[in-house]
Chain A
Amino acid sequence: MGSVPLSKLFTLNTVAELICFLVALIFLYRDKSAAWRLLIVYLLLTFAAETTGLVIRKVFLSPNLPVYNTFVVVECFFTSYFFYTLFKPYGYSMKWLFGWLALFTVMYISELFYVQFADFVAVTASIMSIVFVLACMWFYYLKLTDERYEPLLQSAEFWWVSGALFFYFGSTACNIFFDYLKQNEVSTYNSSIRYIIFNVLNIILYSFWSFSSVCRYRQRKSFR
């Protein structure tokens, strides 16, 4: 077991996650919606998973795959539930959510057994990303077809979805070529291209989500 300075655990990703968690905690802890309050818990779990992954890799010098494989489930369940709450006002029933989560569970377990718990569930994660991209597009479509005008620049939901779209759409190429990059990138570049891309995507995602928390707070205050 190696020792690692605490500063090494604070990467660009973890710092972005921590800031976003703190912003969400400040602005959302009194929110009436369960989904928005759950975002605080989700961001805390994200930060915890990322830090645990770093500790396992840098302190215990062991593969951190189990952490990320577990976190995918949390990510999928939370994001799907959040999308469901966004679509609920448009008359979408729970069966869509349960249907998708059932499909995801089957894919996830099948892939875990297929890779014999020794690899990341990349195919499931890729399909999940595509489903979330489609959900983002569908959200925009619903907003466009909605006859009522809504100031989108001040809409918490809009910024949350936009952040998710940037993240899941931007990571598509990396997800699809996950296996190839894992084998070839280190030998090609000094710094992993996957790491750079995910750093950029995370910063965009957490900036958008932080702003979304602020917008949600403003909405709550103005409706009082």
Chain B
Amino acid sequence: MPISPKEIVSLIGLTSIVFLIAPIFLIRYVLLYNRKKKKHEEEKLAMVKTLETELLRTQMEVQEQTLKTIAYDLHDNIGQLLSLTTITLSSINLDDKVKTAEKIALVEDLTARSTKEVKALSRMLHSEELLSRGLFSAIEFELDWMKRSDRFTINFKKPKFESFTEDAGKETIMFRLFQEIINNIIQHSKATEIFVTLEQVESSLKLTIRDNGVGFDVDATLKRKTGMGLYNIKKRAAIINGTASIDSTRGAGSVITITVPY
């Protein structure tokens, strides 16, 4: 059956209508995709903001931790040494020359030890500066400080390179993670031995902290309010695109591994 000119013209009209509708959908898709791009950009901005906030909080926490350590040391070490010095000095009897000489020698020793402690504290005050020299030095310094208490046997294995990233913020967060884990061990684990290993695995830095303490139920702790510390460790590791794996069994110590890509 031949098609009449009227039908063909109608068909052309209809085709034109379809050709007119098609751009509407195309423009709608472009606008929708653009809206998604905007949302994605906002999310990225929010992430940067979160990172900045978290970094600021971390820096404050590192400072707080330093001040706490200094306060404890002033009270427990230097304070004790100075009290002992005062007591020794006040007990000196100038008539008993032999004992006086012994006591003066003791006071001299106590003063020397106090000076040494003050010097160590002064170094501790510059721990932030230490962090700017490299994450590994900062960790080493912190562990050296712990060794002085003789409560723990510390094994530290560090890589040959000093720093793992140019991003100072990333290193600060990593250092704070280390501090939080060590604090947890000191407060809860009753461990006698701590193993700290820093190693380069492919293009990531792997920080492993193991202890021989009492261990804990990871899932139960994470569910409880007391698990906030562990939750923070996971959250902070995620902020620097890393992961935190927490593995522990009651009575068999615990292993926490932080893996952060370069």
Contact = CB atoms under 8 A, between A and B. Distances in A.
Contact of B8 (A140, A165, A184): A184
A149 B9 contact: no
A166 B9 contact: no
B19 A169 contact: yes
A22 interface: no
Contacts of A196: 13
A interface, size bucket = 20 to 34
A151 B12 CA distance: 36
Contact of B30 (A152, A170, A180): A152
B252 interface: no
Contacts of B5: 184, 187-188
B26 A165 contact: yes
Interface in B5-33: 5-6, 8-9, 12-13, 15-16, 19-20, 22-23, 26-27, 30-31, 33
B144 interface: no
A118 B103 CA distance: 126
B34 interface: yes
B34 A166 contact: no
B12 A177 contact: yes
B217 interface: no
Contact of B20 (A144, A166, A187): A166
A173 interface: yes
B31 A169 contact: no
Interface residues of B, number: 21
A185 B9 CA distance: 7
B33 A144 contact: yes
B157 interface: no
Q: Name the residue among B6, B15, B30, B38 with the largest chain A CB count within 10 angstroms.
A: B30
B27 A174 contact: no
Nearest to B33: A144
Nearest to B24: A166
Contacts of B31: 152-153
A162 B27 contact: yes
A170 B20 contact: yes
A171 B15 CA distance: 10
B41 interface: yes
A24 B108 CA distance: 92
A184 B31 CA distance: 40
B28 to A, nearest CB: 11
A93 to B, nearest CB: 25
Interface of B: 5-6, 8-9, 12-13, 15-16, 19-20, 22-23, 26-27, 30-31, 33-34, 37-38, 41
12 contacts: A143-B34, A149-B37, A149-B38, A151-B38, A152-B31, A162-B27, A170-B16, A174-B16, A187-B5, A193-B9, A193-B13, A201-B20
Interface of A: 137, 140, 143-144, 149-153, 162, 165-166, 169-174, 177, 180-181, 184-185, 187-189, 193, 196-197, 200-201, 204
The 7 closest A-B pairs by CB, nearest first: A184-B5, A173-B15, A170-B20, A173-B16, A149-B41, A188-B6, A165-B23
